[in-house]
Structure 1
Amino acid sequence: MISSASPRARLLAAASALLLAGCATSQTAPATTAAAQAAPEPATAAAPVLKGVGLDLNDLDRSVSPCDNFYQYSGGNWLRANPVPSYATRWGPRNLLGERTQALLRQILDEAAASTTAPRGSNQQKVGDFYAAGMDSAAIEKAGLKYLQPELARLAAVKDARGLTDIMARHFMLGMGSFFRGGVEVDDKNSTVYIVGFNQGGLTLPDRDYYFKDDARTQTIRTAYRSYLTNLFALLGDNAATAKKNAATVERIETRLAQASRTRVALRDPQANYNKLPLAAARQRYPNLDLPRLLTGVQLGAAQEINVGQPEFFAELNAALKAEPLSDLKTYLRLHLVHSVAGALPKAFVEESFRYNQVLTGAKQQTTRWKRLLASTDGALGEAFGQLYVDKAFSPAAKQKALEMLGNIRESMADHIRTNTWMSAPTKAEALKKLSALRVKIGYPDQWKDYSALSISRESYLKNVLAAREWDYREEAKKYGGPIDRNEWGMTPPTINAYYNASLNEMVFPAGYLQPPFFDPNADDAVNYGAIGGVMGHEMTHGFDDNGRQYDSDGNLRDWWTAADGAEFTKRAAVVGRQYDTFFPLDSVHVNGKLTMGENLADFAGLTVVYGALQKQLQKQYGTNPRPLYDGLTPEQRFFLSWAQLRRSNIRPEALRQQILTDPHSPDQYRTMGPLMNMPQFYQAFGCQPGQKMVRPDAERAEIW
């Protein structure tokens, strides 16, 4: 993944925060919903039976009823046969696809690295040299800290507050993650312009709560964190006593910042995290940040206003910059400098970083070097690398089929809005306007990034990493004051993922996702609609969730709901939140229904909408004729099995615990079963009856759209 401090990652973080909601206890009979009206006729004896593609029925655990535990039924045999490899923390179909994609990407990288004829400055030269420099472990060991010394020297030379501001600006541009995050972003309340935004950050542990929780697991993690800090300082040359003292200094400053940080649930509220101030007012409120100098240092000196995402955090940071000794602040910055580039330093730093992450995630073995370098190349030169990838891996036919599916899903979503029983006409009109304005990007950018100003060589991997980060930041800073770039992508073409961006009202599906098992041109429609279709519905309905619904068709943070509709939506969403709070993937640790609200609702509403789209497609294809049975299964059964089989995964307990605490996505078994437990269409497909575990009583059932 991309560094959390990079502009592209900020886009991903913002995009990935946009989710869907709209649930409540059902007040109408299931047959009155748009999707239920399109429910299939029971299969007849005349239905043709064909051999299916895309589902492996040997993976089913037939000792379990689909109506009691559909997650286990749909993939229990697969789960038993596919334990987590030693180098991974979780294992599922996405990982298997990742392995195949990585094999092709490695071939591209090896060819680029071996090329002696690539023109200087070409994408092939830059990608090849970046990868080759990273793979040259002997040169990295020989260089030691040589290429980090210029940055260490800059920091050591700081003598006063002005110098501290300058080094903060330098670290900001290099994505060091020191003190806070931010950059150029679309103004949430005026999507035609860019604004400078600052947000809380500056922590080494994954979340603020790790600094305060006192359970045994958290204490183990904090012990590993302290060892990690201490050992990094020792590797930088500090003696044992000094390294321990410096680690304690960093922990003290980070704990201070954590105390002032908002929780992940609070960070999901876009209105509360929008606090735009004139620069003069922000300068008066946070004088120790020296905003005019800081902004000039990060190439944004023209800014006359700033969005301060979390004012209380910056008030505490402002106080800390005055109260903390300069030497301690420099110690903190020194740690974040080396922490942010540990993977590009000699082996001892890499191993120290892995030992720390082992405790966090439970990983047993370091990922092989070429895979780490592949991910690094994708992060640094994503679209240069991506151009080489799509030339080999993405067909126009796949893009056309995906667009056809999205068209059907959009039609189904429009039907669900029009037939909604609790939403008023004015709100429906706004919702349909937003759906109509939704932009779709598939495969790869229409306009590629120009890397001509970025110099990459085989001299030093670390030097390349820093150069790429600075280039990336400067490209982002250039956007300020200009028109909104609606061609920009927040993911690279090989990425096996997708996102919705509320500020641009767009959803994006990279080429990496549009291949088996998520998208298989040879599979029947039911399988594809349950797989990549489920993803498409998920992203589309993010635009109408508890977060995304607050943005209008133009991407502006504006309340377009009537008061009554907004209140009804909130009531319905709360039903889903309460349901997920009851899921316990680990002893004493339950899913956080508020943190995962948007993703849960996007799964639920998206699946319902895509089910309706599949019925439209089947109607177009077969009309009143019998629908074929593939492997003896109805299209509806294959649809739900496809949804479930792509979400099966094994995960290490440590990684699962961290996911529950920090990730807005629920664990996979509940992403699979949570929506189905509320869907009469699922009950009908598998003949489920009241009293079975997958069937919620009518009074407890949530309904979306």
Structure 2
Amino acid sequence: MNRTLISAACCALLAFASPSSYAQQSAEQSANAAGSVAAPVSGIDLKSLDPAVRPQDDFYGYVNGVWTRNTEIPADKSVWGTYIELRETAQGQLKALIDATLKNPGKAGSDTHKIADLYTSFMDEKARNAAGFKPLQADLAHVAAVKDKKDLPALFAYLQRNGIQTPFSAGVSPDAQNPEQYTVGISQSGLGLPDRDYYLKDDDAKLKAVRGKYQQHIATMLGMSGDKNAAEHAAQILDIETRLAAAQWTRVAMRDPVKSYNRIEFSKFAELAPAFDWATYFKAAGLAPKAASAVVRQPDYLASLSATITAVPLEAWKSYFNWRIIESYAPYMDSATVKERFAFEGTVLRGTPQSEPLWQLALRFTDSAVSDAVGKRYVEMYLPPETKPRVMAMFNNFVASFKDGIDKLDWMGEETKKEAQAKLAALKPNIAYPEKWRDYSAMKTQPHDLIANVRASRVWGRQQNLAKLGKPVDREEWSMTPQTVNASYNPLLNAITIPAAILQPPFFNVKAEDAVNYGLLGITFGHEISHAFDDSGSQYDAHGRLRNWWTAQDRTAFKARAAGLVKQYGAYSPVPGYFINGELTLGENIGDNSGLSVTYNAYERSLGGKPSPVIDGLTGEQRLYIGFAMKWRAKLRPEAAIAQIKSDPHSPGEFRAKGTVMNQPGFYKAFDIKPGDAMYLAPEQRVIMW
């Protein structure tokens, strides 16, 4: 899963259940806690298994073939599967929360009143249509006021403060060399397409066609704003973005935390990128004088950006920033603008025929703007009190199993094992919800001006981020919200986060026996813990410091095993002609493979030496692996699959399921996999890092 932020599944315990049936299961969980508890059930719907497919030949097809044949991707989605279904369930829960808030919003200025204002302003299409592009005039005026390239630094700072993309991003985060303190981080940015390949791959007809449609989309949107030379300006904008893309690091290169850590004093930026007045920028952005240096992820990109600033005429840059403003606010504007944006962003890039309903978009905006205010109420309404203690017990079992696994590694020496054990012991679990919530009292909202609310939310977020400078790192702060269906690992804090929304059926059900709960929720623990020891996370120590704690021999052995996963996943082709990038997905593939190994060991540990129960003719081990494959069932539109292959560090679900089990010794034993079976890998080809 995401480690910052990543990432993203649901038909598992009841393979064809509806959102209402999930709500019923949650209610049953609470009822069972209060009264008598029925005997555990297997959690596997046998009708979802495909009897025509041997698990030894196609395990994903055996588990998910019936679902795949009988399931159509909804018209308003680019992908459909377990995670998306659970997110839909969480959306339904949030809708009920919002409806209750609208009936009783509380006093003006309260969190509940802000929730009501934000949602209401999004739903007010009449006001949005009447406003048109007028709410953008203040931002566009800042661009129009630029008379010289010397004015660009102040413009960058203004746009970043309002959440509008510029050719580089700047923010505050823990310092990888001193994780107790915050530092400024600067990274490449500024593109409108999912990845640099969309701009640079002239030999790829599909990507080239998207690029042409993108230029037309820009021209259409500029024309809607009143630009009389929209076609000319669209060509200028695509030229600038192509120049930026050519200078940017690949996503694989950016996964190297050592090469990405380059501390530069503010006074030295002029030497690196002389065409930009950095002193003016740092002051206008609120970064100086609180800070005197920054960690630059891609120094040569800034040098190239400087050359691009010099080479590109000022009027072309102004066209670019006008586009960045329009694109940034397009989801919140009048119906015609929203429709045009979706035609490109949704249909061209993702293949999605129609947009999600207005209420769902309004819900997502409200949730993102005041996430903790929504999350606090979400936990109160939907998290059964018995869930967190049981999940914490499961987590402790996983840590114990991982600890045993480190001791048993035959490729790692004692010196490195000692450091690994120290890191595991220091791992912090953030389970269900944070202990403290963000304060939104400084954010001002109103019920009928959506753009003003968007701006208020962005400015508030920026101020919250900048306020961290000069303060010790808050290790209690969460990077995810309780209502998020996902999970993460943060190497700088050495912490995993498992939000409340994922702790419900089908991922977790107190009625189901442990095997499926381990295969669905447990693997999330195993996966996120494994991120602390993947190719990137393993370069941080127990305190979150970027430090080499490995012996040279052990790191070489680690890299040799990682190369096996790169080769295995790089051979998978989800879309004809497009192969998974084994290097880009390496961290997530390590998380899956090591995580499932730990999950199996943790489940065996939970049995206390007894054999697993056989239910419906399936052993516990078989149900665990079936649950794992159910978790990753998904269907993607081809456009969405290509975008994922190009930009996402996660492999598509089918290959996360199939590729992972082929490396697991327990899987071979559970399903009697033998040489000659399609799911068979020779022992020397199987890769489990931890």
Measured against the shorter chain, the TM-score band is: over 0.9
Secondary structure at 1:630's aligned position in 2? coil
Is 2:190 the partner of 1:202?
yes
Is 2:239 the partner of 1:252?
yes
Q: Counterpart amino acid of 2:334? A: P
Separation in structure 1 between the aligned mates of residue 577 and residue 305 of structure 2, nearest angstrom:
35
Tell whether the 8 Å contact from 1:114 to 1:128 is kept in structure 2 after alignment. no
Secondary structure at 2:134's aligned position in 1? coil
**What is residue 678 of structure 2 aligned with on the other side?**
693
2:98 to 85, 109, 126: 109
**What is residue 682 of structure 1 aligned with on the other side?**
667
Separation in structure 1 between the aligned mates of residue 90 and residue 575 of structure 2, nearest angstrom:
32
**What is residue 453 of structure 1 aligned with on the other side?**
442
Q: CA deviation at 1:16?
A: 4.3
**What is residue 107 of structure 2 aligned with on the other side?**
119
Q: CA deviation at 1:106?
A: 1.0
Separation in structure 2 between the aligned mates of residue 417 and residue 548 of structure 1, nearest angstrom:
16
**What is residue 545 of structure 1 aligned with on the other side?**
534
Q: CA deviation at 1:625?
A: 4.9
The change in CA–CA distance for 1:693 and 1:144 in structure 2 (over 3 A counts) is same
Is 2:644 the partner of 1:659?
yes
Tell whether the 8 Å contact from 1:51 to 1:631 is kept in structure 2 after alignment. no
Is 2:181 the partner of 1:193?
yes
Moved more, 557-566 or 158-167: 158-167
Tell whether the 8 Å contact from 1:53 to 1:522 is kept in structure 2 after alignment. no
Is 2:126 the partner of 1:138?
yes
Secondary structure at 2:275's aligned position in 1? helix
Q: Counterpart amino acid of 2:266? A: L
**What is residue 29 of structure 1 aligned with on the other side?**
none
Q: Counterpart amino acid of 1:177? A: Q
1:633 to 600, 608, 618: 618
Secondary structure at 2:283's aligned position in 1? helix
**What is residue 305 of structure 1 aligned with on the other side?**
293
Secondary structure at 1:191's aligned position in 2? strand
Q: Counterpart amino acid of 2:390? A: K
Where structure 1 has 5 or more consecutive residues not aligned to the other structure, the ranges are 1-11, 19-49
1:283 to 270, 281, 284: 270
Separation in structure 1 between the aligned mates of residue 101 and residue 155 of structure 2, nearest angstrom:
36
**What is residue 148 of structure 2 aligned with on the other side?**
160
Query: Where do 1:409-448 residues align within 5 Å?
Result: 409-448=398-437
**Per-residue displacement from partner, 1:145-174 (whole Å, max 9, x unpaired)?**
222111111221122234321111011112
Moved more, 668-677 or 94-103: 94-103
**What is residue 521 of structure 2 aligned with on the other side?**
532
Q: CA deviation at 1:703?
A: 3.3
Q: Counterpart amino acid of 2:85? A: L
Tell whether the 8 Å contact from 1:361 to 1:658 is kept in structure 2 after alignment. yes
Q: Counterpart amino acid of 2:627? A: S
Moved more, 172-181 or 244-253: 172-181
The change in CA–CA distance for 1:355 and 1:652 in structure 2 (over 3 A counts) is same
Separation in structure 2 between the aligned mates of residue 539 and residue 182 of structure 1, nearest angstrom:
27
Q: Counterpart amino acid of 1:111? A: A
Runs of 4 or more consecutive aligned structure 1 residues displaced over 4 Å after TM superposition: none
Secondary structure at 2:184's aligned position in 1? strand
Q: CA deviation at 1:396?
A: 2.5
Is 2:304 the partner of 1:316?
yes
Q: CA deviation at 1:427?
A: 0.2
Is 2:261 the partner of 1:266?
no
Q: CA deviation at 1:285?
A: 2.0
Moved more, 329-338 or 98-107: 98-107
Secondary structure at 2:353's aligned position in 1? coil
2:506 to 517, 537, 542: 517
Q: Counterpart amino acid of 1:314? A: L
Tell whether the 8 Å contact from 2:42 to 2:623 is kept in structure 1 after alignment. no
Separation in structure 2 between the aligned mates of residue 224 and residue 432 of structure 1, nearest angstrom:
52
Q: CA deviation at 1:108?
A: 1.5
**What is residue 484 of structure 2 aligned with on the other side?**
495
1:350 to 322, 338, 346: 338
**1 or 2 for the larger relative contact order (CA 8 Å, sep ≥6)?**
1
TM-score (norm 2): 0.93
TM-score (norm 1): 0.91
Tell whether the 8 Å contact from 1:91 to 1:649 is kept in structure 2 after alignment. yes
Q: CA deviation at 1:408?
A: 0.4
Is 2:43 the partner of 1:54?
yes
Separation in structure 2 between the aligned mates of residue 585 and residue 161 of structure 1, nearest angstrom:
45
Tell whether the 8 Å contact from 2:150 to 2:276 is kept in structure 1 after alignment. no
Moved more, 413-422 or 213-222: 213-222
Query: Where do 1:8-157 residues align within 5 Å?
Result: 15-16=4-5, 52-115=41-104, 118-157=106-145
Q: Counterpart amino acid of 2:215? A: R
**What is residue 408 of structure 1 aligned with on the other side?**
397
Separation in structure 2 between the aligned mates of residue 533 and residue 141 of structure 1, nearest angstrom:
47
Is 2:580 the partner of 1:597?
no
Where structure 2 has 5 or more consecutive residues not aligned to the other structure, the ranges are 8-38
Moved more, 56-65 or 296-305: 296-305
Tell whether the 8 Å contact from 1:277 to 1:308 is kept in structure 2 after alignment. yes
Separation in structure 2 between the aligned mates of residue 420 and residue 635 of structure 1, nearest angstrom:
25
Secondary structure at 2:57's aligned position in 1? coil
Tell whether the 8 Å contact from 1:199 to 1:310 is kept in structure 2 after alignment. yes
Separation in structure 2 between the aligned mates of residue 446 and residue 156 of structure 1, nearest angstrom:
46
Separation in structure 1 between the aligned mates of residue 41 and residue 97 of structure 2, nearest angstrom:
33
Separation in structure 2 between the aligned mates of residue 611 and residue 67 of structure 1, nearest angstrom:
19
Q: Counterpart amino acid of 1:286? A: A
The change in CA–CA distance for 1:312 and 1:522 in structure 2 (over 3 A counts) is same
Q: CA RMSD in A?
A: 1.7
